[in-house]
Structure 1
Amino acid sequence: MGYPKDLLSSRSIIKHGLYALIAPEGLVNNVIPGFENCTISVLGSPKLGASFVDYVVTMHKGGKNSEGFCGQENVESFVYVLGGKVKATAAGKEYILEESGYLYCPPGTKMYLENFVEEDSRLFLYKQKYRPLEGRKPWAISGHANNIEFRDYDDMHNVHIKDLLPTDLDFDMNFHILSFDPAASHPFIETHVQEHGAYLLSGEGMYNLDNEWIPVKKGDYIFMGPYVHQAAYAVGREPLAYVYSKDCNRDPEL
């Protein structure tokens, strides 16, 4: 980066336990054992107030995790390819994932990742403790978001959503992509028990977080804690879209 050319400033906003906007300009490299030839930044984590961990990973030429990611009996994982092409391996099965490709690994399954091109590949990576439910068990799922049709969100023709995982009680979380046409918005400001970790895939907008309107754009990361007000307006010339996690299908614990 070299010496600064202006006053030091940042768009990032951190409200521990409530919400966070993390702009890509301020990210630093975190050393995560097992990842080789990779630049990794930890985004959401329990230190921020999240019940999960999100990472953004740039796999350089020859980048890989030969030791495997996760694999603990009570931890599930998910990877979404932001750009490039990777080979993912889980439970002895290989998956070739290009941009918009993803893989969910159930608890007890290690995910091995390897860059499959000469150029950089970029990933949005997630892990969370799984909450078991008697008689239910999740399974490995891979797909490409671009092959899934959008449906209208809350009966609005200019806001669209797609589910990346089954809406099934076997799963205690899901990943979705939400997309707003220019000038579209949520139908109301949401307040709910679920928390989210969201990576902005395209566009620009204004996001309401804890009743503060904050400008956001492609490449930003947003953490939304439980019961924090949240809603978005899309601005600009292209859709505002983001991929995000949501805890679901479980009764809150006492």
Structure 2
Amino acid sequence: MYYAPEGGLPPQTQLLTDRAMFTEAYAVIPRGTYSDIVTSYLPFWDGARFWVLARPLSGFAETFSQYIAELKPGGGSSRPETDPGIEAVLFVVDGTLSLTCDGVTHDLAPGGYAYLAPGADWSVRNTSQAEVRFHWIRKAYQALDGLDMPESFVTNERDIDPIPMPDTGGAWATTRFVAPEDLRHDMHVNIVTFQPGGVIPFAETHVMEHGLYVLEGKAVYRLNQDWVEVEAGDFMWLRAFCPQACYAGGPGPFRYLLYKDVNRHMPMMASGSI
């Protein structure tokens, strides 16, 4: 159901031509780039490796980082997060992940979703006999005086009814894990689903930064002035105000995991910094 990389290396006979693109407005990291030689290792993790899809960087993602984590049987971490004030979302795409958060243990099957609040005490372990792969999206939480902090929670996308976009007849729908009007949250990580032939019928141009990982299907995506073919396993980063639209191809649904920053004032430049 969900695309998950398995690593390895392409053969020596493979052509170098690919769909990878890195521009000022967007980036496309196609699934063919998830090889063994681009994995990373992190402190206090064992039996684990990570494909880094996005990181805060000048000219690239500004508000978030996103990894695909792979855990071997027995792998995991009792100290996964080393930065204070970080909130996170875990989304399982392959295998079963054992998550302990604030003293409660949950087994997350594919489609499992966990929001981990800033300061949460959490750890993960692969207690199965097969590899586990999951997305780990991280953001520095923007706390505000007078606004409560959100709580951690665990669910599965199968337990949430997608909300159709108005006037689309269900061709375009969003699985929302957090209510948009809940201002405690400063990021949303949702799942967007297009049925074959579904479209974003205008070039969206807005302040939110996006990270999109294609879970399933294929589409032609409009990024700035370019039309780009994407498929399951591809990742797209879109800077704020990058025009975007898409046409979903067939034969099945086109679905992606979507990050965006929300619900906070735009940071202003300090006086005299211009």
Q: CA deviation at 1:122?
A: 1.0
Deviations 1:71-123 (A, max 9, x none): 61x21111000111001112222121111111111111243111132111110
Pairing 1:78-97 to 2, within 5 Å after superposition: 78-97=89-108
Deviations 1:150-184 (A, max 9, x none): 11113312111110123301111111111011011
1:6 to 14, 39, 54: 14
Pairing 1:73-112 to 2, within 5 Å after superposition: 74-112=85-123
In the alignment, is residue 21 of structure 1 matched against residue 44 of structure 2? no
Q: CA deviation at 1:10?
A: 2.1
Q: Paired residue for 1:146? A: 158
User: In the alignment, residue 206 of structure 1 is paired with which amino acid?
Assistant: V
| SS of match in other structure, 2:80 | strand
Contact 1:56 1:123 survives alignment (8 Å): yes
**TM-score, length-normalised on structure 2?**
0.87
Residues of 1 paired with 2:167 and 2:154: CA distance? Answer: 28
| SS of match in other structure, 1:68 | coil
Contact 1:75 1:108 survives alignment (8 Å): yes
Residues of 2 paired with 1:3 and 1:82: CA distance? Answer: 26
| Runs of 5+ unmatched residues, structure 1 | none
User: In the alignment, residue 212 of structure 1 is paired with which amino acid?
Assistant: D
Q: Paired residue for 1:162? A: 175
Contact 1:54 1:125 survives alignment (8 Å): yes
User: In the alignment, residue 103 of structure 1 is paired with which amino acid?
Assistant: A
**TM-score, length-normalised on structure 1?**
0.94
Pairing 1:1-254 to 2, within 5 Å after superposition: 1=9, 4-16=12-24, 18-27=25-34, 28-47=38-57, 48-70=60-82, 72=84, 74-136=85-147, 137-157=149-169, 158-167=171-180, 168-254=182-268
Q: Following superposition, which runs of at least 4 residues in structure 1 exceed 6 angstroms of deviation?
A: none
User: Which has the higher mean CA deviation after the structures are superposed, 106-115 or 221-230?
Assistant: 106-115
Q: CA deviation at 1:233?
A: 0.8
Structure having the higher strand fraction is 1
| SS of match in other structure, 2:32 | helix
User: Which has the higher mean CA deviation after the structures are superposed, 20-29 or 236-245?
Assistant: 20-29
Q: CA deviation at 1:252?
A: 0.8
Q: RMSD in angstroms over aligned alpha carbons?
A: 1.5
Deviations 1:161-218 (A, max 9, x none): 1101233011111111110110111131100000111111100001111121000000
Deviations 1:206-246 (A, max 9, x none): 11111210000001111111000111111120110001111
